[in-house]
Amino acid sequence: MQNIRNFVITAHIDHGKSTLADRMLEITKTIEKRNMQAQFLDSMDLERERGITIKMTPVRMVYHLPTKNLELRTKNGDGTESPKSLVLSPKLSNSDEYVLNLIDTPGHSDFGYEVSRALAAVEGAILLVDATQGVQAQTLYNYEMAKRAGLTIIGAVNKVDVATPEQVEQAMEEISILLGIETNEILKVSGKTGEGVPELLVAVVERIPPPSPFPKGSTPAGGRDFESKSLTASGPLPLGKGEAARALIFDSQYDEHRGVIAYIRVFSGEFKLNTTYHMVATGAEVKTKDIGYLKPNLVPGQSIKNGETGYIATGIKDPGQVKIGDTISDVRAVTATDQLELALPGYREPRPVVFVSFYPEHPEDYDEFKKALAKLRLSDSAIRFEPDASEVLGRGFKGGFLGKLHFEIAAERLDREFDVPVVSSFPSVAYKVQMFSDKGRSHEKTDNLDPVDGENGWFWIKNPKDFPNDPLQVYEPMTRIEILTPMQYLGPILQLKDLYRISGVTTETIGAASSGRMLIKAALPLSDLIADFDDKLKSVSQGYGSLSYEVVGYEKGDVDKMEILVAETVVPGLTRILPKSEIEHEARATCAKLKDLLPKLQFKQAIQASHRGRVIARETIPAEAKELGNFGKNGGDRTRKMKLWKKQARGKERLEERGTQSAVRIPASVFKELLKK
């Protein structure tokens, strides 16, 4: 165990985690150079195209410390290289072999949950900062999570190949202030050229402690869960069960043949091939027919030892039996006390905060669509789905997501990986709504709604169409946001207050006062955040403002429902919950936008916005201009006539389509446009 190091690389989006990991894979010869492709650990097509990491990827590397004066070289001013001596700590011997278990983690706030799971499986973190960008909002967020998880943190500045010396200096100063360390403890690296990466690996071995027998402390790793009561209890150390083999399931994937493949971090004992184990929480039994390491492909072996990470093919076909955060052990938990004693400090359950209803674009694809969703869920355990039906859109599913990007990615994956194009409703948050009190009952239907646990008369409203016309009280989810920006954009960013319900703003400088960089902290309702807040922030700060957020709780909201009617019929997918003060303005703006966005038909169409049953805005889409042929006069020429008939027939087809379904099948692009402020 003394020669194992478990660590993550964590950074703001695009600061170069995956590229740095590539160099580590090369240096440790985990991947042959000829098989190397950029951002090796981002294996999904979508990850590569968008250049973002969506799923965490664990990888095991075998590493030998460099021999002095041999493998390390520095660039001289004239472009030549000279050997550099590296003084290893006397405790380390360069003949030793080390096992480095690295987890490459996603950077975006939506995936904070993924990061928190990775953090619970390691002892250390490399906090990587792009020298040309400096510390960003996600750097701060990830640092906080790593600190809360009790990790040893190594600061590193990346992209030194392109940054100016001043930029490198400034980034080092920012990191040193953030971590409370001297600048000479921060490493300078380039993931691109590989410069400084050997030193960084040495620092991993020197500074990060070997695995400890029990997970660090009892503080659950940072997450975005906002109801403290739902935290998994971090049970006491198992008295008398110290000998039990125990491992934490920190991620999983699904394989058609081998069922759920659980990624585990062993905290005591050893896990072996052909042995029976038990899930502590679900009670499921597992016979290990396949066990091994992640390199990052699954490489079968005989066992996974204490302190190591690896995989177990469980053979279980029902993903509900393998819960991420559960403990797997050779001892079977019979009583609740056994469970408490055996369970390793768990993670929080991922809690969806953004809700969207999906429908197959072609209703006859429903069965395909259902299968695709089930498969998607297997590779992304944070998604929640339940059946949902809409009179006009037909049968579909209501999905719960960790954020807007998470939802967008799911929709895109459904389309390209499973070939099922989908129509979706507006993304919405979950409101906590009081529908009735002791004094009176709501007249609305409540039988299809989820009641709020222990609070009589309160319901969760996740789909705007279920929002009552006359709620007694409404609570909405709030986020705490942090924005990091160069000083000159402070004014424009603060002006966003005119468009969004930003409150409780504080500002402070980051790093040295001369750095001219400001950190803005504020509160913002989640529903405002998932409208186009991030796009707007990017545009007013010319791309320099970076954002991180965390859902922190519920606050009373002064909001109400606005419905849209097209041709006198409510379009449920266009119903939105808005702050009361904005409803009139949004009603007019939405009708005007829809007038431009919806296609013209052969007859006039009325678009209306209504609030509490009263129409408050209206626009009319004029009829499609008719092409009046003048061939009637002289008998006309036949080809022109044919052309017109064809055109009319096409128009009729379109009309029929719209009449039956598409009058309310709003293309996804329309939702996006409507949300823009």
Binding site for ligand GTP (CB under 6 A): 11, 13-19, 39, 51-53, 107, 158-159, 161-162, 190-192
Q: Computed over its alpha carbons, how large is the radius of gyration of the chain?
A: 28
Type of residue numbered 154:
I
Beta bridge partners of 127: 10, 155
Alpha-carbon span 526 to 550, nearest angstrom: 9
Q: How far is the CB of 191 from ligand GTP (least distance, A)?
A: 3
Toward ligand GTP, which CB reaches closer, 39 or 608? Answer: 39
Q: How far is the CB of 35 from ligand GTP (least distance, A)?
A: 18
Element (H, E) at 149: none
Side-chain half-sphere exposure of 219, counting CA atoms within 13 A:
13
Toward ligand GTP, which CB reaches closer, 222 or 396? Answer: 222
Q: How far is the CB of 616 from ligand GTP (least distance, A)?
A: 43
Toward ligand GTP, which CB reaches closer, 482 or 528? Answer: 482
Toward ligand GTP, which CB reaches closer, 11 or 574? Answer: 11
Toward ligand GTP, which CB reaches closer, 112 or 292? Answer: 112
Orientation angle between helical segments 137-148 and 112-119, nearest 10 degrees: 30
Please choose, from the candidates 601, 656, 596, the residue with its C-alpha nearest in 3D space to the C-alpha of residue 624.
601
Toward ligand GTP, which CB reaches closer, 19 or 442? Answer: 19
* Contact yes or no for 53/18 (Cβ under 8 A): yes
Q: How far is the CB of 69 from ligand GTP (least distance, A)?
A: 25
Q: How far is the CB of 17 from ligand GTP (least distance, A)?
A: 4
Orientation angle between helical segments 17-27 and 197-207, nearest 10 degrees: 90
Toward ligand GTP, which CB reaches closer, 188 or 611? Answer: 188
Toward ligand GTP, which CB reaches closer, 17 or 665? Answer: 17
Toward ligand GTP, which CB reaches closer, 187 or 344? Answer: 187
Please list, in sequence order, all residues whose beta carbon lies within 8 angstroms of the beta carbon of residue 180, skipping any fewer than 6 positions away.
Answer: none
Toward ligand GTP, which CB reaches closer, 46 or 675? Answer: 46
* Contact yes or no for 42/48 (Cβ under 8 A): yes
* Contact yes or no for 555/429 (Cβ under 8 A): no
Can the peptide bond before residue 579 be classed as cis, meaning omega within 30 degrees of 0?
no
CA 519 to chain centre: 23
Cα three-residue angle 390-533-131, rounded to 5 degrees: 130
State how beta strands 152-158 and 187-188 pair: parallel
Q: How far is the CB of 105 from ligand GTP (least distance, A)?
A: 8
Q: How far is the CB of 128 from ligand GTP (least distance, A)?
A: 7
Q: How far is the CB of 74 from ligand GTP (least distance, A)?
A: 16
Toward ligand GTP, which CB reaches closer, 41 or 249? Answer: 41
Alpha-carbon span 332 to 281, nearest angstrom: 10
Please choose, from the candidates 495, 479, 487, 509, the residue with its C-alpha nearest in 3D space to the C-alpha of residue 540.
495
Q: How far is the CB of 193 from ligand GTP (least distance, A)?
A: 7
Alpha-carbon span 190 to 211, nearest angstrom: 28
Toward ligand GTP, which CB reaches closer, 161 or 368? Answer: 161
Element (H, E) at 609: strand 605-611
Q: How far is the CB of 157 from ligand GTP (least distance, A)?
A: 10
Cβ-based neighbour number of residue 315 at 10 Å: 17
Alpha-carbon span 512 to 49, nearest angstrom: 37
Toward ligand GTP, which CB reaches closer, 39 or 548? Answer: 39
In angstroms, what CA-CA distances link 421 with 222, 368, 593, 668?
A: 35, 11, 24, 11
Burial class for 334, CB neighbours closer than 10 Å (0-12, 13-18, 19+): exposed
H-assigned helices in 530-633 = 534-540, 580-597
Q: How far is the CB of 114 from ligand GTP (least distance, A)?
A: 11
Q: How far is the CB of 106 from ligand GTP (least distance, A)?
A: 6
Toward ligand GTP, which CB reaches closer, 156 or 531? Answer: 156
* Contact yes or no for 59/102 (Cβ under 8 A): yes
Q: How far is the CB of 52 from ligand GTP (least distance, A)?
A: 3
Q: Which residues of 358-392 are buried (b: 16+ CB within 10 A; e: fewer)?
A: bbbbeeebbeebbebbebbbbebbbbbbeebebeb
State how beta strands 246-255 and 259-268 pair: antiparallel
Alpha-carbon span 24 to 568, nearest angstrom: 62
3-state secondary structure of 542: coil
Toward ligand GTP, which CB reaches closer, 399 or 403? Answer: 403
